Amino acid sequence: MNTWAGFPLPKDGPAPGSCIRVERPEDGLVFLHLDPPHRSLAVFDGPLLRDLDAVLQDLEHDHNLKAVVLAGADPLRFAGGADLDAIATFDDPVVLEEVVLAVHKLFRRLEKLPARTVAAVGGPVPGGACEISLCCDFIVAADHPKTRIGLPETQLGIIPGWGGCHRLPRRIGLPAAMQAILSGKLYPAKKAKRLQMVDRVTAPEYLWEVAANIAMKRERVRPVSRGWKHWLVDRNPLLMHLVSKKARETVMKKTRGKYPAPLEAISLVANGVQTPLEEGAKKEARAIAKLASGSVCKSLVRLFQASEAAKKWGKNADGTSFPPLQSAGVVGGGVMGGGIASSFAMKGIATRLADLSQDAVDAAVQNHRKDVAKKVKRRQFQKHQGMAAVDALDGTTSIHQFSHAELVLEAVAERLEIKQSVFKEIAANVSESTILATNTSSLSVTKIAEGIPHPERVVGMHFFNPVKRMPLVEVIQGEQTSEESVRRVAALALRLGKTPVIVKDVAGFLVNRILGPYLDEAVRLFLDGADVQKVDRFLVDFGMPMGPFRLLDEVGLDIAKHAGESLHRAYGERMEPASGLEALSSESRLGRKTGKGFYDYPKDRKEKPTPCTDLASFQTRTVAKNLPKEDVVDRLVLSMVNEGLLCLQENVVAGPQELDLATVFGTGFAPFEGGLYSYAQRRGLQNIQGRLLELGKKPLF
């Protein structure tokens, strides 16, 4: 394998010169189309960088050159960022630093061209694509929902390393650049224009024409200028210090110092305006070399790759796409059913929500309208989009009004006989091709499908609460479920902005099965005297989004008890639940939904919950009261690891990549660890086995 300045050039890669289409539509004007034959969207990999190097060399000697337009294969396919697969192969920081500097030098050559340069961007414009655009004199963006521009690198454990930390603050100012880089946001075209991240916005069909006119000075665009703000804001040492301090406090509060990339970015961005570009390049290269070779970056990149790989399930096996779903029905107007129906309608799917209670239907529709109004107010929806989303959801008290639905999802009570009855009624009133999806969290999809005509269309579509925030959907394939049904439901999940993971039809599926031993171990520690708040703090320090007792309260003590009993029936003695929840829970004490569980929850949600004062009365011993932090964490986390590895052995998911994705997106398992399997691999399976045996020799229970 050859390389371009250290970037790999595959033997079967595209021929030299084939990745950039050079066009000369008029005298003095050159269009450079990033259009590699081996990718649907250009990525800054070895072949593309090699060809850009060659093209720039030609342009540097073109004495007739007046203007250059950098464009994509079409107006809505500009380019992605760096080739993450290639970057993941670099383990030597010295080599990686040299590679980053080589790309800096290449981008700087584009910036130094004597001709006027214009980037005509549209569709995805993340990371490296944004950074090469910042090297141009002007940026024109296509006004289209697909257009998203920004620097998301901190979300992958690195920093914008090809000039972004220094060029963006020069363009839009220190405060805005700091926020953009630390958040990793990708902005729509009009928002980017308001931030001055782009100079001009136009319809996609006019993008290249407008870019050419600006490049050839036929259309005047005022260059971005910070004016007095450049001196009083961007170069103000006191303000730099205050912005950096505030940013650091925010990052530490959010990440607890587990993610080094945002902290590294703060210093680079704060000094970005005052640092010469050549010196800035060296600083960015050193930071990238350190971060990209570290475990956090590698973990986050693997998760990103896993989420991208999951998208293949949203298409036919041959790669062709399904027609977009036009109509759907949801049965069950509770929190889950209402949230799912609203999510469908937000994406333009004509949705009918059914519940026997008119009050439940009315409440769900009203909540949907409130959510739409918030999106309009925040400019996430335009007014006409908001009106369409409102119109897309209606309600009924009959489950016989789904004759035109392409998919009907039930979210009724978690009882097998109820779900079977609901599906039989629905099946009698819909087309034989209508997909019947169940949101069950624990019941067998195969059993739910019993007695249903064409059971191959019955599939699990398990959302997590809260529906609109949780990114994972478990797609459960029953014994008779067809692959087409699985793929069509996965496509729907992707359309909703979720990540689908295909799961075998076993008790608890994947996420709840793994959480079962974790939460049960927490209850056992509680019964033996462990301090609830301390245990929760230990697990948050480890990297979980909340501790196990807060999670139990969020789930609901009644639901947790029911789930534990289901797992016990399925897996026998090794899943026998602790009996503590029975004594603790009552109709008025079920967790957050009743205002009291392990914690007391103030009516004002802005106030922090506090541990209940009567918890000691439910504890039978005190042997776990002063248990060391490492013992508490290992007892809980390794319970998940052990069950996760059993799931792999039983082929509950396709492999380690899917297990990692599901545990991070479904349980909130520390993303910087890369997921359950990656954590186990890094720690060492022998080490984990020895630790479990050690904990087993000193039982508390």
| pLDDT (tens digit per residue) in 636-687 | 999 999 999 999 999 999 999 999 999 999 999 999 999 999 999 999 999 9
Domains 2-293 and 511-697 share a fold: no
Taking each continuous run of H as one helix and of E as one strand, the counts in the chain are 28, 21
Give yes or no for a contact between 652 and 510, defined as CB atoms under 8 angstroms apart. Answer: yes
How far apart CA 230 and CA 273 sit, in angstroms, is 9
Q: What backbone phi and psi angles, to 5 degrees, belong to 358?
A: -65, -35
Is residue 233 predicted with pLDDT exceeding 70?
no
DSSP string, 500-520: EEEEES-TTTTHHHHHHHHHH
Q: What backbone phi and psi angles, to 5 degrees, belong to 142?
A: -80, 125
- Return the number of other C-beta atoms located less than 10 Å from residue 398's C-beta: 12
How far apart CA 465 and CA 463 sit, in angstroms, is 7
- Return the number of other C-beta atoms located less than 10 Å from residue 109's C-beta: 16
pLDDT at 229: 66
Q: Spell out the SS3 assignment of 629-682.
A: HHHHHHHHHHHHHHHHHHHHHCCCCCCHHHHHHHHHHHHCCCHHHCCHHHHHHH
pLDDT at 621: 87
Tens digit of each residue's pLDDT (9 = 90 or more) over 54-73: 999 999 999 999 999 999 99
- Return the number of other C-beta atoms located less than 10 Å from residue 626's C-beta: 10
38, 384, 462, 568: the catalytic one is: 462
* C-alpha 596: how far from chain center: 32
What percentage of residues in the chain have a pLDDT greater than 70?
A: 98
Annotated domain spans of the chain: 2-293, 324-504, 511-697
Is residue 443 predicted with pLDDT exceeding 70?
yes
- Number of residues assigned to the chain: 701
How far apart CA 78 and CA 23 sit, in angstroms, is 16
pLDDT at 243: 84
Give yes or no for a contact between 270 and 174, defined as CB atoms under 8 angstroms apart. Answer: yes
pLDDT band at 226 (very low <50, low <70, confident <90, very high): low
Q: According to CATH, what is the number of the domain 324-504? A: 3.40.50.720
How far apart CA 131 and CA 163 sit, in angstroms, is 6
Average pLDDT over residues 199-217: 97
Tens digit of each residue's pLDDT (9 = 90 or more) over 546-591: 999 999 999 899 888 888 988 999 999 989 998 877 888 888 999 9
Angle at 510 between CA 504 and CA 516, to 5 degrees: 140
Is residue 341 predicted with pLDDT exceeding 90?
yes
How far apart CA 129 and CA 179 sit, in angstroms, is 19
Q: Who's near 569: CB < 8 A, 6+ residues apart?
A: 507
* C-alpha 140: how far from chain center: 28
Give yes or no for a contact between 137 and 118, defined as CB atoms under 8 angstroms apart. Answer: yes
Average pLDDT over residues 520-542: 95
- Structure-token pair, residue 266: 């703060």
CATH 3.30.465.10 is right for the domain spanning 2-293: no
pLDDT at 87: 81
Beta-bridged to residue 421, according to DSSP, are none
DSSP conformational letter for 223 = P
Instruction: Return the exposure string of 224-254: e unless at least 16 CB atoms fall within 10 Å of the residue's CB, then b.
Output: bebeeeeeebbeeeeebeebbeebbeebeee
DSSP conformational letter for 586 = B
Is residue 103 predicted with pLDDT exceeding 90?
yes
Q: Who's near 110: CB < 8 A, 6+ residues apart?
A: 52, 56, 68, 70, 117, 132, 135, 136
pLDDT at 700: 64
What percentage of residues in the chain have a pLDDT greater than 90?
A: 82
Rg (CA), the chain: 28
241 assigned to active site? no
pLDDT at 353: 97
Q: Against a cut of 0.75, is the pTM above it?
A: yes
Which class would CATH give 511-697? mainly alpha
